[in-house]
Amino acid sequence: AITADPPTPVLSALAVMTQRRIRHLPVVDGGGLRGIVSIGDLVKYRIERIEAEAEAMRSYIQSA
Distance CA 2, CA 20 (A): 9
pLDDT single digits (tens) 18-48: 999 999 999 999 999 999 999 999 999 999 9
Q: What is the pLDDT of residue 34?
A: 97
Of 27, 31, 32, nearest to 17 (Cα)?
27
Q: What is the pLDDT of residue 21?
A: 97
Are 62 and 48 contacting, i.e. CB atoms less than 8 angstroms apart? no
pTM of the model: 0.81
Predicted confidence band of residue 56 (pLDDT cuts 50, 70, 90): very high
Q: What is the pLDDT of residue 64?
A: 76
